[in-house]
Amino acid sequence: MSKFKNIKVITKKELDKFVNSLIKNEKYDVIGVKEKGIRFAFGSIESADELRLDYDVTILPPKKYFLPQIEKLMDFNLEKNFDFKKQNNQKPMIIFGIHPYDIIALQQTDKLYLDQQVDDFYKKRRDSSIIVGVDIQKVSEKSFAASMNTHITDSGFDLLLTNIGDYYTVTIGTEKGEKLLNEYAKTKPATISEIKKIDEVRKKTAKKFTKVLKIKKEQWSNVLAANYNHPIWEKRSQKCMECSSCTMVCPTCYCYDVHDDVSLDLKKGERYRTWDGCLIRDFTKIGSGEVFRDDVEKRYRHRFYRKGNYLPERYGFVACVGCGRCGIACLPDIASPCDVINDLSHFERSDVTDKFFIKYSSSVKEKGIIHIPRSATIKRMEQLTKTEMFFEIELDNGEPLGHMPGQFVEVSIFGVGEAPISVSSGPNDSSSFELVVRKVGDVTGRLFKMKPGEKIGIRGPFGNGFDVKSFENKNILLSAGGLGIVPMRSLIEYVLEPNNRKNYKDITILYGAKEPSLILFPEEFKDWSKVDDVKCELTVDKCAEGDCWMGCTGLITTLYPKIKLDKYDSENTIAVIIGPPIVYNFIIKCLQTLGIPDKNIYVSLERRMKCGVGKCGHCQINGVYVCKEGPVFNYKDVKNLPEAFE
């Protein structure tokens, strides 16, 4: 029997009147399920006649009202130096006819979007909306919601309708729902026998599901943990067309991209976020050209692990509600988690389910509202190499950035976009900080063309940075490859700062550049080596003809045989590596040869990033968000993460 005491009944005629009076009132956008050809879709309704509460499943879930497919974040004026207006309009919505599985999917989205980093845009929509759910009357043949126990819900709605024959019962979930009902509808209290009918209807519906899971949803994580390298991924993904329709129609997929649009007269523009999908190859592509999930097999697998292992380990729920939409949308019919899990259910299960996830606590949060940059001024620029430019930036509010070595900011240029860039200067109390930018594309290319005095936007600092306290009283061995010297410089400045130097023992800095003309901060490198007990070694991969270079030539790995550590030293040495993805495995081998334990090795990993706060999904290494739990990781924690060093 229903746990709700406050249940009413409403005749079908009165329900129509209720809907029509809300439409007439114009206080709310009234949304409901309508016919669309032979299928159904949520849309604005102009009359109760349009509303179909007996549908099987809608083409898209109602998430489109809370995380629109294309959502304007802000308008900006390109004629002024830094001028924008956050998107604020939100007319209250009433959404009629949401099935329980979609209500549960919204509750899951709340967990992610309203966590410690609240997404203001999403929250405003959720707060100003009223959810009128409806119990399922007709079951979609691809849905397996009953196996997921998501065909019913006892929370997440303001009102819930159940068709009990001549009447609908209205279960009141919130005060907001009750108020609406009292104001606009004519109902009477439900009798005990009417309330009993709710359970009867639900039981009957549960029996109508023909698609059934062979194992409980609580076991998905165990099955997936044991079958990461199962041939099923290769076999099924061979048919994948990489269209990402499965993620687009899914109520529990919420990854997004952010981009700018500019008017034809180049005077104004808008920043948007749009749905994105992890099945698309460029989803993980970064500036140096690497694509972290290059094979379709890996991207195909990622979607199932995200739903059945990564999010369950993080939040405690399976991120699939069994709606069956992916099964309908996928032309080669390979997208349904029900089919995949059923196929895998005959194979091994693992008791250790958290091997793709790190339980780091993270306090990363935007300063201010998510996605809204702070105004900053370029104070100084200096071209360091043909592709790298140095920037001194000052926050216009006069406050210090407040960063730790290893953290990064999102640099924002209206009309072009945003790029994550490491802070290169050490922490300090001034409002200035330093960046070094390599020109690879739109944002970085535009930064190169800017002049001192011009404004940019800054979000952050983001990421965890180095736990410099835990490095105290240890020798420090720093290895930087290429652009890795940029974030490493922030750590070097910190440990060499006269007040801090005494806290660290011998410091060794190894730096490998491609060629002499690409060496960054050569003068500072010389200065660092003059500090007591600091040893610096520099090498270039190759020396072009005509280049004057008297130093070491060879890959950075050629520098390690010069280091002599006894057992005591190795165990008391902290090693840090920052470089392009290709160098990590080689350097780690060198460090292990020196006897440095894995727990003493720290790496800073680069991934594609958009939000910086664990929402957009781009930076994920298996179940780990690099923007939040990284980019700095202890090697012992990530060495067994399959995607970390592939």
Ligand X SMILES: Cc1cc2nc3c(=O)[nH]c(=O)nc-3n(C[C@H](O)[C@H](O)[C@H](O)COP(=O)(O)OP(=O)(O)OC[C@H]3O[C@@H](n4cnc5c(N)ncnc54)[C@H](O)[C@@H]3O)c2cc1C
Binding site for ligand FES (CB under 6 A): 609-612, 614-619, 625, 627
Q: How does DSSP classify residue 291?
A: B
Considering the rule CB under 6 A, would residue 582 count as an interface residue with ligand SF4? no
Q: How far is the CB of 331 from ligand SF4 (least distance, A)?
A: 6
How many residues form the binding site for ligand X (CB under 6 A)? Answer: 28
Contact flag: residue 509 with ligand X (CB under 6 A): no
Given a contact cutoff of 8 angstroms between Cβ atoms, the answer to whether 596 and 499 are in contact is no
Q: Is 262 a binder of ligand X (CB under 6 A)?
A: no
Burial 274-303 (b: 16+ CB within 10 A, else e): ebbbbbbeebbbbbeebebbeebbbbbbbb
Sole residue written with tokens 């006819």: 97
Applying CB under 6 A, the span of 28-36, 156-164, 248-256, 436-444 interacting with ligand SF4 comes to 248-256
In whole angstroms, the minimum distance from the beta carbon of 150 to ligand SF4 comes to 9
Report the alpha-carbon distance of residue 408 to residue 406 in Å, rounded.
Answer: 7
Query: Cβ 127 to ligand SF4, closest distance in Å?
Result: 24
From ligand SF4, ligand FES, ligand X, none, interface partner of 615 (C-beta below 5 to 8 A by class): ligand FES
* Residue 57 within binding range of ligand SF4, rule CB under 6 A: no
- In the bound state with ligand FES, the residue whose beta carbon lies nearer, of 278 and 491, is 278
Element (H, E) at 194: helix 192-207
Which helix (H) or strand (E) is 223 found in, with range?
helix 220-226
Q: Provide the token pair at 574.
A: 């902290």
Question: What is the rounded distance in angstroms from the CA atom of residue 120 to the CA atom of residue 124?
Answer: 6
> Both ends of the chain: CA-CA distance in Å?
53
Smallest distance, ligand X to C-beta of residue 602, A? 15
Strand locations in 296-431 (E): 374-383, 388-395, 408-413, 417-422
Report helix, strand or coil for 330.
Answer: coil
Between 66 and 560, whose beta carbon lies closer to ligand FES?
Answer: 66
Could you give phi then psi for residue 76, rounded to 5 degrees? -135, 155
CA distances from 199 to 56, 130, 151, 292, 322 (A): 19, 24, 12, 48, 21
User: Is 440 a residue that touches ligand X (CB under 6 A)?
Assistant: yes
* Member of 97, 420, 426, 516 binding ligand X (CB under 6 A): 420
Task: Give min distance, CB of 75 to ligand FES, in A.
Answer: 23
Binders of ligand X among residues 474 to 493 (CB under 6 A) are 483, 486
Does 163 bind ligand X (CB under 6 A)? Our answer is no
- Residue 249 binding result from ligand SF4, ligand X, ligand FES, none, given CB thresholds of 5 to 8 Å by partner type: ligand SF4
Three-point CA angle 528, 532, 535, nearest 5°: 55
Decide if residue 376 touches ligand SF4 (CB under 6 A). Answer: no
C-beta of 169 vs 422, nearer to ligand X: 422
Residues 516 and 547: their CA atoms lie apart, in Å, by: 7
Considering only residues 502 to 541 of the shown chain, the ones binding ligand SF4 according to CB under 6 A are none
Instruction: Give yes or no for residue 422 binding ligand X (CB under 6 A).
Output: yes
Nearer to ligand SF4 among residue 269 and residue 324 (C-beta): 324
Stretch that binds ligand X, among 66-74, 437-445, 500-508, 530-538 (CB under 6 A): 437-445
Token readout for 279 is: 């099945």
- By CB under 6 A, tell whether 287 contacts ligand X: yes
**Three-state secondary structure call for residue 462:** strand
Rule CB under 6 A: say whether 444 interacts with ligand X: yes
312 binds, among ligand FES, ligand SF4, ligand X, none (CB under 5 to 8 A by kind): none
Which window, 128-136, 269-277, 279-287, 294-302, contacts ligand X (CB under 6 A)?
279-287
By CB under 6 A, tell whether 603 contacts ligand SF4.
Answer: no
Residues 6 or more apart whose CB falls under 8 angstroms from that of 357 comprise 309, 310, 313, 314, 622, 623, 624
Which does residue 442 touch among ligand SF4, ligand FES, ligand X, none (CB within 5 to 8 A, set by kind)?
Answer: ligand X
Q: Please say which residue, 286 or 320, places its beta carbon nearer to ligand FES.
A: 286
Token pair listed for 422: 């490491």
Stretch in the footprint of ligand SF4 (CB under 6 A) among 116-124, 236-244, 397-405, 549-557: 236-244
Return the residue of 249, 311, 488, 510 that touches ligand SF4, per CB under 6 A.
Answer: 249
* Sites for ligand X among residues 603-642 (CB under 6 A): 606-610, 631
Decide: is 514 part of the binding site for ligand X (CB under 6 A).
no
Matching residue, tokens 């003059």: 530
Q: Output the DSSP codes for 149-191.
A: T-S--SSS-SEEEEE-SSEEEEEE-SHHHHHHHHHH---EEPP
Using the rule CB under 6 A, is 321 a contact of ligand SF4?
yes
The DSSP 8-state label assigned to residue 587 in this structure reads H
Q: Which C-beta is closer to ligand FES: that of 125 or that of 618?
A: 618
Considering the rule CB under 6 A, would residue 241 count as an interface residue with ligand SF4?
yes
The C-alpha torsion from 585 through 238 and 626 to 632, rounded to 10°, is: -10
- Confirm or reject binding of residue 70 to ligand SF4 (CB under 6 A): no
Q: Quick check: helix, strand or coil at residue 418?
A: strand
The residue of the chain with the least Cβ separation from ligand X equals 441
The one segment of 174-182, 210-218, 284-292, 332-340 that binds ligand SF4 by CB under 6 A: 332-340
Told to check if 335 binds ligand SF4 by CB under 6 A, we report: yes
State in angstroms the smallest separation of the CB of 617 from ligand FES.
5
CA dihedral over 422, 426, 430, 432, signed as positive or negative: negative
- Contacts with 253 (C-beta within 8 Å, 6 or more apart), sequence order: 247, 275, 277, 303
Whether omega before 631 lies within 30 degrees of 0, making that bond cis, reads yes
Residues that bind ligand X (CB under 6 A): 282, 285-287, 289, 408, 417, 419-422, 436-438, 440-445, 483, 486, 606-610, 631
Residues that bind ligand SF4 (CB under 6 A): 240-246, 249-252, 279, 307, 320-326, 329-330, 332, 334-335, 337
